[in-house]
Structure 1
Amino acid sequence: MKIKEGFVLREIAGKAVVIAVGEASKTFHGMINLNSAGKDIWQGVADGLNEDEIAKRLTEIYEVDLETAKEDTHRLVQKMYEAGVVEG
């Protein structure tokens, strides 16, 4: 899985948001707000990690067990697919 071309993570007023740029902005209007864990999941996808690797990374950053991290990661990745910002 990877982030589709034209979607970028930006910090706006201290908040992490995903916006569409270039050609992607013609079909995707608006932005996706991410909390800190969401930002870390997004970065994991951008780094080419799979869901299990991202979940493991979350357990190293946050006080969360692996099962919860896997569930949270899967839920956000599915939403990212539904929003059309990831592929593969």
Structure 2
Amino acid sequence: MKLKKKFLVRDILGEIVLVPIGKSDESFNGMVTMNEFGKFIWDNIEKDQDEILSLILDEYEVEKSVAEKDLDEFLECLRKVNIIE
């Protein structure tokens, strides 16, 4: 996957958030809140989707169908706000 905007991951009062930096903050007015699973995906976001799924299955005790669904939902959220392509 390819990132369209630049973000930093920050822990703000116990919440994990993506904060836009540079020119990204001009075109994206807000922050993205995520859980530990979302952060794991974000940390691997520039890999292809199948590779991320494989990493999830190695890291977490989860059924493949559940991992695929959760991964698809998270990536779709990022696509909707034009963060990835």
Same topology, TM > 0.5:
yes
1:38 CA drift (Å): 0.5
The one-character-per-residue Cα deviations of 1:14-39 (angstroms, maximum 9, x if unpaired) are 33211111111112111111101011
- Summarize the Cα distance change of 1:2–1:9 in structure 2 as closer, same or farther, 3 Å threshold: farther
Hey, what does 1:17 align to over in structure 2?
Answer: 17
Tell me the residue number matched to 2:82. Answer: 84
Deviation track 1:28-87 (CA, whole Å, cap 9, x = no partner) reads 111111101011111111xx2111211121122221011211111111111101111112
Structure 1 ranges of 4+ moved more than 4 A: none
TM-score normalised by structure 2 residue count: 0.86
**Between structures 1 and 2, the one with greater strand share:** 1
Match in the other structure for 2:60: 62
For 2:2, the aligned partner's letter is K
| Amino acid aligned to 1:17 | V
Name the CA distance, whole Å, in 2 between partners of 1:32 and 1:64: 24
Deviation (angstroms), 1:10: 2.0
Say which structure is richer in helix. Answer: 1
Provide the secondary structure at the position in 1 that maps to 2:44: helix
CA RMSD, 1 decimal: 1.4
Give the residue type in structure 1 aligned to 2:25: S
Paired residue type of 1:80: L
- 1:64 is paired with a residue whose SS is coil
